[in-house]
């Protein structure tokens, strides 16, 4: 499995030669950030899934900082954050809002549509929109944390299980070849 992953990830030496990354060399090129083993890969998937739900362009920066803190595979964590994209972001945020509403017990967990402009004045509509957005804040934040934690835990456990299954399969194949 390690050989298959290495084929798609950039080499440590190639990145160390990059002049833009040279100032971060002491911490960014730590060997544990580039090593592929079941602990590092599972941790990277968990970090990537958790940080993927961070709003805006901060996903990869947060994933890189978490990789530095937890010493898990950096490139894999950065790639894993890409599960959130323009097609998946809205359904994930609606699910997070529903989870947050359910946790808080504020309602039925259904997403409410933003106020329509209608024939009200612009200032009245902006007030209604601000109230609608304030109502989303707490349930959305709690839901995002809960969803990110659940995805992260599931990703970690499934990666460990897949790696273990792969190893057992290869052990059995090797044992059958010998006999």
Q: Which of the pair, 39 or 114, is modelled with greater confidence?
A: 39
- How high is the mean pLDDT of the chain? 84
How remote is the C-alpha of 89 from its chain's centroid? 12
Residue 137 has pLDDT above 90, yes or no: no
| CA distance from start to end of the chain | 24
Largest CA distance in the chain: 82
Q: Please say whether the beta carbons of 50 and 77 come within 8 A.
A: no
36 to each of 14, 18, 61, 75, how far by Cα in Å? 17, 21, 21, 10
- Which of 39, 83, 37 is closest to 60 using CA atoms? 83
* Per-residue model confidence as pLDDT tens digits over 18-55: 676 665 666 666 777 778 889 999 999 999 999 999 88
Can you give the pLDDT at residue 2?
67
């Amino acid at each position: 499995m390690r050989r298959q992953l290495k084929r798609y990830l950039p080499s440590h030496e190639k990145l160390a030669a990059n002049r833009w990354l040279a100032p971060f060399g002491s911490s960014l090129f730590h060997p544990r950030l580039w090593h592929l083993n079941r602990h590092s890969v599972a941790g990277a998937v968990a970090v990537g899934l958790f940080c993927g739900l961070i709003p805006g362009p901060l996903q990869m920066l947060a994933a890189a900082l978490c990789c530095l803190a937890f010493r898990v595979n950096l490139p894999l964590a950065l790639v894993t954050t890409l599960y959130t994209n323009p097609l998946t972001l809205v359904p994930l945020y609606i699910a997070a809002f529903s989870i947050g509403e359910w946790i808080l017990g504020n309602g039925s967990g259904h997403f409410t549509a933003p106020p329509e402009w209608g024939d009200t004045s612009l200032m009245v509509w902006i007030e209604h929109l601000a109230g609608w957005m304030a109502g989303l804040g707490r349930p959305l934040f709690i839901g995002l944390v809960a969803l990110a934690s659940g995805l992260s835990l599931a990703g970690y456990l499934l990666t460990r299980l897949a790696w273990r299954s792969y190893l057992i399969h290869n052990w059995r194949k090797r044992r059958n070849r010998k006999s």
